[in-house]
Amino acid sequence: MALYQLLRPFAFALDAETAHRATIAALSMAPPLPLPSFPKTLAIRVAGIDFPSPVGLAAGFDKDAEVPDAMLGLGFGFVEVGTLTPRPQAGNPRPRLFRLKEDRAVINRMGFNNGGQERALDRLRKRERRGILGVNIGANKDSTDRVADYARGVRAMGPVADYLTVNISSPNTPGLRNLQAGGELVDLLQAVQASRTPDGPPIFLKVAPDLDGGDHDRIVRAAADSGVNALIVANTTISRPPLTSRHRAETGGLSGRPLKALALEQLRLFRAASGGSIPLIAAGGIENADDAWARIRAGASLVQLYSAMVYEGPGLAKKMADALALRLEREGFTSLSDAVGAA
């Protein structure tokens, strides 16, 4: 992390997307580090998977599955790649990624830019299977049958994934969030499950933070009835709390510190709606161990980072994991699972 603080001014001299691509390129050329060891108290079993640490990398950083092993070696307990669509797509016009330095936030309107599932699948088949890898799947912008796109993603990426995330919560693909509505969600999840082989990876559903009253109960019922194994709460927001950066008026999904309160409240509402019957994974505005601890006590079994790394560097994951182990000991918990929902 100290090295990153020295390098950050050079990265911030570049536009956000150029700096990100340079980071991916550098990581892809470096030999992967060995998997780190974590305190045993951090181990937790979610959806039949044994996670060595609850601190994971959210989708969006490694869209094309180019550097999952590098990120695992840097201290993440699990890594989620994507979002990957069936066919390659360029995404929205640049510029489409903006740092809001004064707000410790990011706005993106990337639009599921990626090289497609086939290229990523070839890459992931060649890697030595180690660590926990999630694959986030989506639909192409110009698709005439988005449900079929998700079913195709399950079939294509299931063999290389420890879990699959159905992402219907990005605000940057027009109409995508409509799949969260009533009957559409049920039809989608049924199609996803029908495409999953009996020994296929568990299915996670990533939801938006911009929900209305009653949405939480409805989504939990649909997820439970369809056999979804976990909910990721939540994606970026289209709402705009007070911001100070010159980029505050950019359209797209807002992430980072300003999302913190909203994401935590949505997590609490999903915990109340589910009663703990379905595992929850927290994302959005998590910057440090205190934030992670608040989400765990509110009901999250796992947490995911992305935007905070822009400001703190990839060493943040291991730093948070170590701090969480100390917090468990200080609070008198012998395991992470005992702390989940303790608030």
Residues of each annotated binding site: 59-63, 83, 108-112, 136, 167, 172, 206, 234-236, 256, 285, 306-307
What 3-state class would DSSP assign to 49?
strand
Q: Supply the DSSP string of 198-246, one letter for each residue.
A: TTPPPEEEEE-S---TTHHHHHHHHHHHHT--EEEE---BS------ST
Beta carbons of 153 and 86 less than 8 angstroms apart? yes
Give me the sign of the Cα torsion angle 114, 76, 162, 49: negative
151 vs 89: CA distance, rounded Å: 18
**Which residues are documented as binding site for FMN?**
59-63, 83, 136, 167, 206, 234, 256, 285, 306-307
Place of tokens 């150029």: 18
**Which residues are documented as binding site for substrate?**
63, 108-112, 167, 172, 235-236
Q: Is 170 a catalytic residue?
A: yes
303 vs 76: CA distance, rounded Å: 11
In this structure, the number of other CB atoms found within 10 A of the CB of residue 1 comes to: 11
53 vs 199: CA distance, rounded Å: 24
* 319: amino acid identity, one letter: K
**Backbone phi, then psi, for 157, in 5-degree steps?**
-95, -10
Measuring CA to CA, which residue among 58, 77, 187 is closest to residue 130? 77
Catalytic residue (one of 170, 195, 274, 301):
170
Just list the catalytic residues. 170
